[in-house]
Structure 1
Amino acid sequence: MSMNLPTPKSLLALMGLGQKGSSLPALDENNRLCRQLDQTRPLEDYVYTVLDTELTGLSARKEEIVSIGAVRVRGLAIVPGESFSVLVRPSIPLPKTSTLIHRITPEAIAKAPPLVEVLPGLIEFCKGTLIVGHHVGLDMSFLNRACKKNHGRPLANPCLDTMRMAMLWREKRTPSHYEQYNLSISYVLTDLAREFELPRFTAHDALGDALQTAYLFIYLAKKIAGNRPLTLRELFRAGQSWRWYM
């Protein structure tokens, strides 16, 4: 009598250890699209979601999101009318110090939806796109913590950091060791917008900062590429040689 033994994958599934999908179909679809992303195409071929979050504080372990803003970039141009902007009601009290920064008051978010209700719409807006942000790791640490907590999986979207891109562009222009220790250099979003003479938007407003970051991203992507097509893989590889970290 023959007996069909379970394969390693099915055995893991029986033990409850196999890889499972999330509890949100849009998140699974997003992650599938991102895993299939071809990194050999020029930067202008991709669709980007440029986002920013306003927070109760900087600790991703105990602080929370109070506002999210995002805009669409396609063909290295901002797409008018394609944006995402929402206030979020945190589960913790809103510190006065954070209100002083982003000007969002407890009254303004009293009737706002909690993040768990906001996530599906944001994930749908980001579906299959590259995510861009200024110091994007901070935004993604908050968003991915929420995605894992509420839906069992983080976002798989590849991310581009305009702060790192600004470092790369400065290094490309002035590759001197002195510049690494020049304390007058700033990578603050508003300072970079001023330095590169970009349109200015309201600082510490999620949608305003997302727009500011989008203009900065388009500017830097074109400058770094120069007069030739630059692929996403080439940009990622260039980023591996960045010498400055903040």
Structure 2
Amino acid sequence: MGIRSLLRSLRHRPPLHPALQRNRSAFADFNQDIPLEDCEFAVTDMEMTGLDPEHDEIVAIGAVRIRGLSIITGDVFHTYVRPQRSMARPATLIHRITPAQLQHSPALAGLLPGFVDWCGQALITGHHVGLDMGFLTRACRRHLGGAPATPCVDTMRLAQAWERERWERSFDPFQPTVSYTLADLSARYGLPQFRAHDALEDALQTAYLFLYLVRKLKGGGITTLRGLHAAGRSWRWYL
């Protein structure tokens, strides 16, 4: 973003929304040393019209809650989102969401407060979560007056940490064929398979992957958020 665009966005930014005020209050004294069993995680996936947060838009949000290291099946967030601009055909081919499905869906500005409140004190968790958070942060700044304070957990980083640990224990430490896509990791670990490129089903897929990785990493002594964060950050090839 250029200087002029940044100044223009700041000039038109709305006052901080009450949902974001509650969000920032919830994480004002965030304690990374609490046991993983005592944490909540909002496992989230978003479908977008493309990969550029400055020009593309969110068209679906799916999220499931993990509490006590178990998926709370009755506590989900799932919605389609009406974009401001027409959706390009390649995006429709990937996630199979048609313009007709979105025509009567709510706009993102009206959905964001509910999603932020639904997450509550849960940590947002996702596969390559930085991409989704880029879109979410930009949308919150535009419509809610600021960025959310919610810490994030990336299952791709955790998978890289777990694979590194496996390699170091094996006789063959070099396995360049490992794929870190959500679908390939889930198949590699024998997890239940869900439909790809569907926001809610991808969130479920990520939740199963997250719980698998947490249990594996806990076996190596990682029992707190601080340890989980350190395990993810330690993967030196992650971009």
Query: If the length of structure 1 is used for normalisation, what is the TM-score?
Result: 0.87
Gaps of 5+ in 1: 1-20
Specify whether residues 179 and 136 from structure 1 end up closer, same or farther in structure 2 by C-alpha distance, changes over 3 A only. farther
Deviations 1:74-95 (A, max 9, x none): 0111002100000001111101
Residue identity over aligned pairs, in percent, reads 49
Aligned-partner Cα distance in 1 for 2:187–2:105: 33
Count of aligned pairs:
225
Name the SS of the counterpart of 1:79 in structure 2: strand
Aligned-partner Cα distance in 2 for 1:228–1:154: 33
Query: Does 2:152 correspond to 1:159?
Result: yes
- Of residues 24-33 and 159-168 in structure 1, the stretch that sits farther from structure 2 once superposed is 24-33
Name the amino acid aligned to 1:78: I
1:42–1:229 Cα contact (<8 Å) kept: no
2:22 to 29, 37, 40: 29
For residue 68 of structure 1, report the CA deviation from its aligned partner: 0.2
Name the SS of the counterpart of 1:99 in structure 2: helix
Aligned-partner Cα distance in 2 for 1:210–1:239: 19
Aligned-partner Cα distance in 1 for 2:236–2:222: 24
Specify whether residues 22 and 46 from structure 1 end up closer, same or farther in structure 2 by C-alpha distance, changes over 3 A only. farther
Matches within 5 A, 1:28-177: 28-175=21-168
2:38–2:67 Cα contact (<8 Å) kept: yes
Name the amino acid aligned to 2:184: D
Aligned-partner Cα distance in 1 for 2:99–2:232: 40
For residue 152 of structure 1, report the CA deviation from its aligned partner: 1.3
Aligned-partner Cα distance in 2 for 1:154–1:179: 40
For residue 23 of structure 1, report the CA deviation from its aligned partner: 3.0
Name the SS of the counterpart of 2:209 in structure 1: helix
Name the SS of the counterpart of 2:27 in structure 1: helix
Name the SS of the counterpart of 1:174 in structure 2: helix
Gaps of 5+ in 2: 1-13
Aligned-partner Cα distance in 2 for 1:245–1:25: 35
Aligned-partner Cα distance in 2 for 1:119–1:185: 36
2:158–2:231 Cα contact (<8 Å) kept: no
Query: Does 2:215 correspond to 1:209?
Result: no
Aligned-partner Cα distance in 2 for 1:51–1:111: 23
Tell me which residue corresponds to 2:226. Answer: 233
The structure number with the bigger radius of gyration is 1
Tell me which residue corresponds to 2:185. Answer: 192
For residue 227 of structure 1, report the CA deviation from its aligned partner: 6.2
How much is the aligned-residue C-alpha RMSD, in angstroms? 1.8
Deviations 1:165-218 (A, max 9, x none): 000000011138x85671x21001011110111111111000000000000000
Specify whether residues 63 and 179 from structure 1 end up closer, same or farther in structure 2 by C-alpha distance, changes over 3 A only. farther
For residue 22 of structure 1, report the CA deviation from its aligned partner: 4.9
Query: If the length of structure 2 is used for normalisation, what is the TM-score?
Result: 0.89
2:39–2:122 Cα contact (<8 Å) kept: yes
Aligned-partner Cα distance in 2 for 1:106–1:229: 45
